[in-house]
Every structure is written in structure tokens, then in C-alpha cells.
Amino acid sequence: MSYLLDILSPLLQGTLVTLQVFLLTMLLAVPLGLALALLRLSRRAWVGRLVSGYVWLMRGTPLMLQMLFIYFALPFVPVIGIRLPDFPAAILAFTLNYAAYFAEIFRAGIQSVDRGQYEASKVLGLSYVQTMRRIVLPQMVKRILPPMSNETITLIKDTSLIYVLAMNDLLRAARGIVQRDFTTSPFVVAAAFYLLMTLVLTWAFQRMEKKVAVYD
């Protein structure tokens, strides 16, 4: 028990880094994903194709590769040549990657709304923005909660990839203690932390699903 208390402090510090990456990614990727979804449904074909290409690129290449590119290769890109510290580089990579996944979820949710409701909104004199805000998006939210729950839980686990940038997240902190003390106990504790975080997320999404189900 005393050993577990000793390793708890570095693991909690690693958990804090994990949560920071998770929360910042959600804060940035969700609105970006919604904007991309709306752009992909634009009547301008070239805009939709451009966004489709972006989504294909981000979903078709590994997140780890994207992080390594932003951190190591971006400084050598002509014209851009930006060198980012490890934390901003990780946030940028996670945001760009997960925005593509969220965009597809939002797009599917928007397209699942019956077209007749768009026509009804026109009869009522609602603008496109009013139609999206008052009619389409509220219905979309109810339909995308299950896939959003899956992606969000995946995100909390994918944060472990930041170890490639030598960031001291939960998994890297646990691995450092294992290599130091030659015991697998830190991995067990780290697994418990991940399970607890995913449990909280699962509970939160279930609450949201029950809340919106009241209005069905």
C-alpha cells in the first residue's frame, strides 16, 4: 500500500497532462468538426471536395505520423517553417485529426434530418442559419450522441500517443516507474485511471442521451 501511495503522485501528474490534451482537443475539435461538416454540405462543389480531401487525408494517415510531421517536419516546410513546442504540436495534431472524424459524424447527423423539414422552414420564412440553429442541429445532437461517445472514449485512450513527443502523460509516467522499479504495478494503476476516465465519459453521455430522449 505504501508503494502505491508513493507512485500515485507522478501518475496523477501524468493524468493531468492526459486530461489537458483531452479537454483542449474536445474544445477545439468539436466546433472545427461542425464547421467542416457544414462546409462539406455546401452547395459549392469545390468546397465540398476540398473538405472531403482533408477528411480523407486526416482519417487515412496515423495520428502518430501526423504528430511527428507537425513536430519534426513542419519547421522544414517552405514558407511555413513553424517550430512548435511539444504540447502545442500535440494539441494541433489531435485537433486536426479528431475534427475530421467529428465532421463525418456531424455530416451524417445533419443528413439524417428529413428534407421535408428544410422545406417547412422555408415556408415559415426561416433563413438557412435559423433553420440549422432551431431545427436541424437540435435533432442532429440527439442522433450523434452514440458515435460521439465512441470517438470521445477513443480520444481519451489515444492521448497515450503523445509519448512519442516525450510528454509526461499517464502512460509514460507509468512506464518510467516500471523501468525504474521492475514491477508492473504502475501499469495496473494506470489502467485503473483510464478505466475511471472512460467510466465518467460513458456515464456523462448516457445522461445526455436520456435527457434528450425525453423530448422524443
Q: What's the mean per-residue pLDDT of the chain? A: 89
Residues 6+ away with beta carbon under 8 Å from 112? 140, 143
Judge whether residue 215 has pLDDT over 70.
no
Higher confidence at residue 65 or residue 74? Answer: 65
Q: Which amino acid, 193?
A: F
Higher confidence at residue 132 or residue 188? Answer: 188
Q: Which pLDDT score, from 0 to 100, does residue 216 have?
A: 55
Domains contained in the chain, CATH given: 1-213 (1.10.3720.10)
Higher confidence at residue 78 or residue 188? Answer: 188
Q: The pTM is what?
A: 0.90
- CA 196 to centroid of chain Cα atoms: 18
Q: Are 141 and 212 in contact (CB under 8 A)?
A: yes
Q: Which pLDDT score, from 0 to 100, does residue 117 have?
A: 74
pLDDT tens digits along 25-37:
999 999 999 999 9
**Distances 4 to 7, 108, 179, 191 between C-alpha atoms, Å:** 5, 46, 16, 14
Q: Which pLDDT score, from 0 to 100, does residue 1 have?
A: 67
**pLDDT (mean) for 64-73:** 94
